[in-house]
A = this chain, B = another copy of it.
């Protein structure tokens, strides 16, 4: 078995220097590092990470378990994933991606022992994967929430976010505010849909008008359908809070296609999205920017805290979105 001493001899350096490079604990000159790396490869000295894992029963690897995200090029997702990867690396952990929905494959991966803990994305209100994780006893943290509020999670603070959005619109004189939310498909019901709708009902209650909730699919076509339904079914509505990133452009386009101006006839706030997406649309949308990178980082952090015993109670973190004014909010049209 090749040892660190063999590597040191081959590279003609001290064992301490080899250790500095392997553990990243001290600066080593680039040429020396290159020599050590070459020696490691020549001797096939690959055992430190593996040996440490054997000795400690810890691999220092976390998994991000998520459904297929390829077909949803959602602007906040990449920020979230990168935030989680950064957060893990800052604590000395690696993050693997597990693009898995299938129950059997999930078992296989959990039983494999590769990871110390799991971050679960796109959590549903009743999520069979959570039951699986609990049964497997692998520590985890949720991104989003189920019905059960006792589990560790990080999530957007939808109550505060929607409340601030409605307040911003009230400040401009709006009294009839609609919600355009996401349509759940047959099998999934993201927890955020329920929480968003209940936050909206709370926020508009002081206005004393009936609610106007429209659920559409998260696409341009969905956004155009929402514009039509607002026009046909809710003509009294002068402002919209949109919590459906994929429908934002379609809503703005569809509203104009019906001869209505944004914000002249309809003001729009897009919540839980990126400022970059808001800027792409014409007029630039006023957004409540999702703290996606921060959520990713805090999720990794919370999980590592759990693994390393720093936290007794399950970590539960809520972060509101931040208002970024664009050009899509103005006073309501004169009656």
A residues lining the B interface (CB < 8 Å): 21-24, 27, 30, 33-34, 36-38, 40-42, 44-51, 53-54, 57, 59, 61, 68-70, 73-79, 81-83, 85-86, 89, 94-100, 103-105, 107-108, 110-114, 135-138, 220, 246, 248-250, 252-253, 256, 274, 276-277, 279-282, 293
Contacts and interface: CB of A to CB of B under 8 A. Distances in A.
Nearest to A221: B279
A62 to B, nearest CB: 9
Given A49-B113, A51-B54, A282-B282, 19 more contacts: A22-B112, A24-B105, A41-B138, A42-B137, A44-B57, A46-B113, A47-B57, A70-B293, A73-B274, A78-B78, A81-B81, A82-B97, A89-B99, A94-B97, A220-B280, A249-B281, A252-B282, A253-B282, A277-B280
A259 to B, nearest CB: 15
Interface centre among A22, A70, A108, A220 (most CB of B within 10 A): A70
Q: How many copies does the complex hold?
A: 2
Contacts of A21: 107-108, 111
B30 A103 contact: yes
Contact of A100 (B89, B107, B111): B89
B96 A95 contact: yes
B108 A24 contact: yes
A29 to B, nearest CB: 11
Question: What is the predominant secondary structure among interface residues of chain A facing chain B?
Answer: helix
B70 A73 contact: no
9 contacts: A37-B110, A50-B113, A70-B86, A73-B76, A73-B277, A82-B97, A85-B98, A96-B96, A249-B282
Nearest to A107: B33
B94 A95 contact: no
Interface centre among A30, A45, A249 (most CB of B within 10 A): A249
A112 B135 CA distance: 32
A17 B246 CA distance: 44
Nearest 3 interchain pairs by C-beta: A24-B108, A41-B137, A249-B280
Contacts of A44: 57
A232 to B, nearest CB: 22
Contact of A113 (B38, B48, B61): B48
A70 B83 contact: yes
Given A41-B137, A86-B70, A279-B220, A22 B78 contact: no
Nearest to A61: B96
Contacts of A107: 21, 24, 33, 37
Contact of A111 (B40, B110, B281): B40
A86 B111 CA distance: 19
B68 A78 contact: no
